[in-house]
Structure 1
Amino acid sequence: MGKDSKTKDSGGKGKGKQSSGGNDENTSKGKGKGGGKAADELGTCTYVKARHILCEKQGKINEAYKKLQDGWLSNGDKVPPAEFAKVAAEYSECPSGKKGGDLGWFPRGKMAGPFQDVAFSTSIGATSAPFKSTHGYHIILCEGRKN
């Protein structure tokens, strides 16, 4: 049982973003007990780097998500940041939309409710499904995490 978590961590502290070529979501799901370092890659990191698209209306966020699906999400949930930025610039109603939805690095506790939950649980390189917060409807692209 405890063996798996030790073999996953190959020595480097806090260097999760270099550890695997995008397979984080497959190896860290369902490993609640004794997951150690694997759990840190998703739910317990201290900072996350993200981009987002914010729309007031659900129809508009669904349109943006469909555009991502047609271009990238049909091949999995990985959207290159530059491509996500183009869709954010076109659809996002947040001032960050002009910067491709870039929110930079932010600590746990800075963002409210569902936004934080989704941002800190989305795998690096993955795009969330649309979700609702107190500010409207969002899609998040997680670009990195660190402690």
Structure 2
Amino acid sequence: MGKNSKPKESAKGKGKQAAGGSDESSKGKGKSGKSDGLGTCTYVKARHILCEKQGQINEAYKKLQDGWLGNGDKVPPAEFAKLAAEYSECPSGKKGGDLGWFPRGKMAGPFQEVAFNTLIGATSAPFKSTAC
């Protein structure tokens, strides 16, 4: 969950569940900053939580909903990082799910689409991705 992505760290396997947020300077929140000057974003920073089992990502997402998303609030980066450290099966979990900055074309299709289409500071709903 979340975006604060750095150049892709590979995740193993297919069909893993990810939830993400992108933010240009922390995690967890959508589109950001580095532009090609044409009004389109060419880089994004994202955080995520990667889980093999649907039940595990649902549990993590429910905690986000109960704490912030249910009220329409943005998830504080530190809180997202705690959940990523607890739930994520990706090595980035130790860094709060932070993937750093990455350009278009660097991440797997579904993850890239969500990363570049989620608003800055927002957290996406869980989605299935082949890798991240």
TM-score, normalised relative to structure 2:
0.69
> For residue 61 of structure 2, what is the amino acid of its counterpart?
Y
Q: 5+ residue gaps in structure 1?
A: 1-16, 18-23, 25-36, 137-147
Moved over 3 A (4+): none
Match of 1:49, SS? strand
Other-structure match for 2:48: 52
Q: Distance in 2 between matches of 1:135 and 1:113?
A: 9
Picking from 68, 71, 75, the partner of 1:75 is: 71
* Residues 1-147 of structure 1 mapped to structure 2, 5 A cutoff: 40=39, 44-76=40-72, 78-135=74-131
Name the structure, 1 or 2, with higher relative contact order (CA <8 Å, separation 6+): 2
Q: Distance in 1 between matches of 2:73 and 2:127?
A: 15
* Bigger-Rg structure (1/2): 1
Q: Deviations over 1:78-117 (max 9, x none)?
A: 1011110001000000000000000011111100110000
Q: Distance in 1 between matches of 2:89 and 2:73?
A: 23
Q: Figure out how many residues of one structure are paired with residues of the other and give that number.
A: 98
Q: Distance in 2 between matches of 1:111 and 1:67?
A: 26
Shift of 1:76: 1.1
For the 8 Å contact 1:54–1:92, the answer to whether it is kept is yes
RMSD: 2.1
Match of 1:98, SS? helix
Match of 1:118, SS? helix
Q: Distance in 2 between matches of 1:87 and 1:130?
A: 14
TM-score, normalised relative to structure 1:
0.62
Match of 1:120, SS? helix
Q: 5+ residue gaps in structure 2?
A: 1-23, 25-30, 32-36
For the 8 Å contact 2:108–2:131, the answer to whether it is kept is no
